[in-house]
């Protein structure tokens, strides 16, 4: 048996090798919510890959969904980019969710949003990058470029489409449908087919966790 261990180790290193029994575990970062982590295929937000979010309408909860992640990253001093958000993110709400506002950068250039996202990912310094796709037709090539850029960074990258926009056929890690609630459906990526209703309880959970970490030395 002692020889089996290195072989196992060697096989694990090959991400391009498909083995029947188990899918290779992709690197991911915790979403900050236990039930969401359990529901996501990789056990968290995949790192260095693109996550596509398709909200049913504006304000379906796309930012709330990511707030625990952003809070964790900004508190560790990692910068976070919000690129071309459709409305103004309320600083009081972000602060309440635990986000360090001095690490948050909002880029207000809708027509250059994808370029800015690509640059941010390529730099490799951002905690995570969240970009709202500009209005109009979705260009498959620019999404592909974004995917390649995401691979160069360790950060999870999120692209949020507008209503009625169809994402191109792509190799993104995850595609999530989002409805007010927020309620999540997995449109791409193998995992549970059931929808996840997150509700509002998570925020309170986060607040409790923060209080605990604050009371610790």
CB nearer another protein, residue 69 or residue 94: 94
CA-to-CA separations, 9 to 2, 5, 12, 33, in angstroms, rounded: 12, 6, 5, 31
Least distance from C-beta 77 to another protein, angstroms? 10
Least distance from C-beta 61 to another protein, angstroms? 4
CB nearer another protein, residue 113 or residue 143: 113
CB nearer another protein, residue 31 or residue 172: 31
Least distance from C-beta 90 to another protein, angstroms? 5
Q: Are 130 and 82 in contact (CB under 8 A)?
A: yes
Least distance from C-beta 22 to another protein, angstroms? 30
Could you count the other beta carbons within 10 Å of the beta carbon of residue 154? 17
Least distance from C-beta 190 to another protein, angstroms? 27
Least distance from C-beta 23 to another protein, angstroms? 28
CB nearer another protein, residue 37 or residue 64: 64
CB nearer another protein, residue 90 or residue 195: 90
Q: Are 34 and 72 in contact (CB under 8 A)?
A: no
Using CA atoms, how far apart are residues 63 and 188, in angstroms rounded to an integer?
A: 20
Beta bridge partners of 204: none
User: 3-state class of 29 per DSSP?
Assistant: strand
Using CA atoms, how far apart are residues 18 and 24, in angstroms rounded to an integer?
A: 8
| Residue environment code for 113-129, b if the CB has 16+ CB neighbours within 10 A, otherwise e | bbbbbbbbbeeeebbbb
Using CA atoms, how far apart are residues 181 and 124, in angstroms rounded to an integer?
A: 33
CB nearer another protein, residue 61 or residue 156: 61
* Contacts to another protein by CB under 8 A: 56-61, 63-64, 79, 85-96, 101-109, 112, 115-116, 119-120, 123-126, 180-182
Using CA atoms, how far apart are residues 140 and 162, in angstroms rounded to an integer?
A: 15
């Amino acid at each position: 048996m002692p020889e089996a261990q290195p072989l196992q180790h060697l096989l694990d290193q090959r991400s391009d090798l498909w083995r029947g029994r188990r899918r290779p575990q992709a690197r991911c970062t915790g979403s900050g919510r236990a039930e969401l982590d359990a529901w996501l295929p990789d056990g968290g937000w995949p790192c260095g890959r693109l996550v596509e979010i398709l909200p049913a309408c504006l304000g379906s909860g796309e930012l709330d969904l990511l707030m625990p992640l952003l809070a964790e990253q900004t508190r560790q001093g990692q910068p976070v980019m919000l690129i071309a958000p459709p409305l103004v993110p309320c600083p009081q709400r972000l602060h309440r969710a635990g986000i360090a506002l001095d690490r948050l950068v909002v880029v207000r250039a809708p027509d250059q949003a994808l370029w800015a996202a690509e640059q941010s990912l390529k730099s490799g310094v951002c905690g995570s990058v969240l970009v709202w796709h500009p209005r109009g037709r979705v260009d498959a090539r620019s999404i592909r470029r974004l995917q390649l850029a995401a691979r160069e960074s360790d950060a999870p990258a999120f692209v949020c489409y507008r209503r009625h926009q169809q994402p191109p056929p792509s190799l993104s890690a995850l595609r999530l449908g989002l409805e007010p609630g927020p309620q999540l459906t997995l449109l791409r990526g193998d995992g549970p087919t059931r929808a996840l209703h997150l509700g509002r309880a998570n925020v309170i959970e986060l607040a409790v966790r923060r209080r605990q970490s604050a009371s610790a030395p």
